[in-house]
Structure 1
């Protein structure tokens, strides 16, 4: 299924504690607050932002990706406080092969509370449903234990080490490939494991 962008009806997702919504230009200061933090950016594949203009540019990239039907990126809002705490979404969407790669980050004050797992559950449901994905991929730094834990809780399987896979922060980085297949999720649901 192709996401319709003619009317620009951006899909809004909700969990018990979170709202996943369109990222808007007024979110630039929140994006900058998160993306300028070295600890958050350590495993993101880029240096921390140095200006609000970089946040505006990133929002434009996220929105263009959606408009051009190449991916989707949500703002993660903590319902209770109506606070922007991160982003999550899909990129590298390959329709021919029904696969996409997911990515995400959270502000440090949101770490360790199970919020990313909550967002991932909704994202995965959306990916296999509305996007018609067969395979969801994630590449992650081997040192990023928190992200690996989140992926494994969702049923992602490590497929191997991709040596020198990406040029991040002026050096070639090894990354782990994780993947989740639709048929495996459906099988787990049948067995009552999810």
Structure 2
């Protein structure tokens, strides 16, 4: 574990990064972890598991260590002291817009809007927002992965995506399911009704 991760505070430029807690074949810098070597540990400042690329650490590269974020929401996991967690904010109406937030020590550092319909098995992901000091460190990817995990096998789409280079780069780096419609939200009739639209 790198010293920069210990005792980090929200909003600080601590260099912390995050990934969904699933098997990764490569590190942030593109190294095959079977070849580069991987060390797993635990960060006691936020009570979250970490992984490190041994080669990145030997080369002194950035993002060599990252937090492994459980994609289950905090209320879906056994009681824990974790201070870097996903929080669900359910919709007020079935198939309406809810939110997925990522919180560090009870402070929101990122989030997105999410529409889900279990009847039509459809999901729509809204804009992904991450605080400036935490961008390009994997937190947005954790949010997208958490949203997609809510509807395995669903048909997915997103709301309009900015044409900026940074927004396009973020979208291009995600692991979207087959058939996703980017920038073309496909709201089902239940979502439209919940949104107050004409059906």
TM interval, short-chain normalised: 0.3 to 0.5
Q: TM-score, normalised by structure 1?
A: 0.42
Q: TM-score, normalised by structure 2?
A: 0.41
User: Greater helix percent: which structure?
Assistant: 1
